[in-house]
Amino acid sequence: MRMRSLAPVLALAAALAPRAASAADVKVDIPFTKTQLPNGLTVILHEDHTLPLVAVNTMVRVGSRFEEPGRTGFAHLFEHLMFMGTARAPTKMFDAWMESAGGSNNAWTSEDRTDYFDVGPANTLPLLLWLEADRFSSIGREMTQQKLDAQRDVVRNERRQTTENRPYGKAEIHLPELAYPAGHPYHHPVIGSHEDLQAATVDDVKTFFARWYVPKNSSLVVAGDFDPARARAEIERLFGWIPSPEVTQVPAPPAPRLTGVVRETMADDVKLPKIIMAWHSPARFAPGDAELDLAGSILQEGKASRLYKALVYDNPLAQDVRAEQRSQDLSSLFVIEVVAQPGVPLDKLEAAIDAEVAKLAASPPSGEELRRAQNQFETGFVSRLQSVNERASLLNIYQMAVGDPGYADKDLARYRAATAAQVQATVKATLDPNARVIIRVVPKEAPAAAPAQPGGGK
């Protein structure tokens, strides 16, 4: 996921892969009304007068997987361009007017979605809606070379700052290239390559806007302290006229499959080596998705978790362990990342990771382990209801994913319903030792150890 700017408010990262819990009586409920304008725009309203705040969230069903060949990074670059001004709100005025009224904004792009959000004092709602309607109806036709060039440089610096100049960052953006075959929509990272960013043209912007940024492909949420009747009328007036061509459906690619172990060793400016393993896994909300979220928690959360206990607590092998299901629309990746302690042979570390994964594939987690994971997800779900901005985002995430903005409680129910046997079966079916990507990141200066044999590793 790529953000427009590094703002603090954005603990949003987790939002795409909903985290929930299990057990007990807590209900995760966000009251809302949903309508569809005649042009196809989905409109979701959530009223809450606790604080004099309002949030506007606009989500578009487009992301890096919809990009044309040779244009990697374009969906995210486009997200930046949405702030570059129109005839009515000239360059810089989108932000200037919003901030002058006390509002703030940001946006993110993932493989599957692009999301724009504004938060401001309750009195700013007319301005927020006006600014959004303006850019969502006219940014394509207003695009210029100058605007494109400006954000292209910003985005290339985003790439440098968030990956190239960060320890282990280069491996992170290389992972999808190893996991998915060339031509697969998930083959490239959201941020894209410098070459492709450089190649983008004003015509590309206009075409992309006309194709994807249309009411039928978008959903608008207004949340917080406002009058729903007045907001609805205003939305109908400002957005209802926007023409909506049919959205061409993109054919789904064949499910990605690995038939062996794809290995790569990368040198980076790091002190401690790192092992990254990735497996293809079920799509977001597909059977197995919640089970793998739970498996991730069982493997990495807390000192009693399988990987921490075995690799850090009982044996000084790893400095840091992570295991998580990274959910996506078409299919997902389950990723384990482990940083080695100094001097630990990577073959030994890899074998230790494999042993823990194999145990979870061979027998179900204990009831205690499962409940522990479920309870943590439950708290996570409730936590996300705290801010009006996050509730706005959740309503849109669920609308886009399952067509039901109020899906949060059903989402949580997936975690509550998962059984230990299901977790084991999913781990067994998914985390196949003979079908995965294994990246080793090693210190630049150190001579790389003898290249591991493809398919081997034990």
Partner 1 sequence: MRAPITMLAAGAALAAAALAGCEENLPPPVVPAPPPPSAEAAADPIPSAKPDLGAPRAFEPAAPAVYKAPNGLTVWLLERHALPMVSVTLALPYGSASDPEGKAGLASITANMLDEGAGGRDAVALSSAINDLGASLTTGAGVDGSTVSLVVLKKNFKPAFEIFSDVVARPRFDDKEWKRVSSLWRNDLAKRAQDPVAVSRVVISAALYGRGSPYGHPSSGLVSTAAKIDLAAVKGFYAGHYRPDQATLVVAGDVTRAELDAVLAASLEGWKAPAKAAPAPPAGKPLASPPGLVLVDRPDAPQSVLAFVREGVAASDPKAPPLDLVNTALGGSFTSRLNQDLREEHGWSYGAGSRFAETRGTGAFIAQASVVTEATGQALTAMLADLDKMAKGGLTADEFGKVRAQDRADLVQAYETVGSTSQRLGTLAVLGLGPTFDAGASRARQQASKAELDTLAAAVAPRGTIVVVGPAAAVLPQLEAAKLGKPELFDAEGNPMKAGGARPAAKKKAPAKKK
Residue 96 in the binding site for partner 1 (CB under 8 A)? yes
Name which of residues 57 to 86 contact partner 1 (CB under 8 A): 85
Task: Report d(CA 373, CA 298) in Å as an integer.
Answer: 6
All residues at 6 or more sequence positions from 354 whose CB lies less than 8 Å from its CB, including other chains: 433, 457, 458
42 or 106: CB nearest partner 1: 106
Binding mask 14-33 for partner 1 (x = CB under 8 A): -------x--xxx-------
Residue 60 token pair? 């578009």
Residue 365 in the binding site for partner 1 (CB under 8 A)? no
Residue 150 in the binding site for partner 1 (CB under 8 A)? yes
Residue 360 in the binding site for partner 1 (CB under 8 A)? no
Residue 161 in the binding site for partner 1 (CB under 8 A)? yes
19 or 284: CB nearest partner 1: 19
Name which of residues 403 to 442 contact partner 1 (CB under 8 A): none
| Three-state DSSP class for residue 425 | helix
Q: Among 50, 248, 259, 453, which residue interacts with partner 1 (rule: CB under 8 A)?
A: 50
Q: Among 53, 171, 214, 427, which residue interacts with partner 1 (rule: CB under 8 A)?
A: 53
Please give the size of the binding site for partner 1, defined by CB under 8 A: 100
Task: Report d(CA 423, CA 364) in Å as an integer.
Answer: 7
Binding span for partner 1 by CB under 8 A among 37-45, 255-263, 377-385, 429-437:
377-385
Q: Among 35, 38, 68, 99, which residue interacts with partner 1 (rule: CB under 8 A)?
A: 99
Binding span for partner 1 by CB under 8 A among 65-73, 124-132, 201-209, 352-360:
124-132
Residue 409 token pair? 């409680």
Do 79 and 108 contact (CB within 8 A), yes or no?
yes
Residue 115 in the binding site for partner 1 (CB under 8 A)? no
Residue 38 token pair? 């005649």
List of long-range contacts for 101-106, beta carbons under 8 Å, 24+ apart: 101/127, 103/127, 103/128, 104/7, 104/9, 106/3, 106/4, 106/5, 106/7, 106/9, 106/10
Residue 154 in the binding site for partner 1 (CB under 8 A)? yes
N-to-C CA span, the chain? 33
Q: Among 183, 248, 259, 303, which residue interacts with partner 1 (rule: CB under 8 A)?
A: 303
113 or 372: CB nearest partner 1: 372
Residue 346 in the binding site for partner 1 (CB under 8 A)? no
Helix (H) or strand (E) holding 153: helix 145-159
The structure tokens 């959740």 sit at 394
26 or 435: CB nearest partner 1: 26
138 or 244: CB nearest partner 1: 138
Task: Report d(CA 313, CA 301) in Å as an integer.
Answer: 13
Rounded to 5 degrees, φ, ψ at 171 are -70, -35
328 or 387: CB nearest partner 1: 387
Residue 391 in the binding site for partner 1 (CB under 8 A)? no
Binding mask 248-287 for partner 1 (x = CB under 8 A): ---------------------xxxx---------------
Residue 316 token pair? 């000084």
| Smallest distance, partner 1 to C-beta of residue 67, A | 21
| Three-state DSSP class for residue 191 | coil
Residue 28 token pair? 């995760």
Residue 201 in the binding site for partner 1 (CB under 8 A)? no
Do 372 and 22 contact (CB within 8 A), yes or no?
no
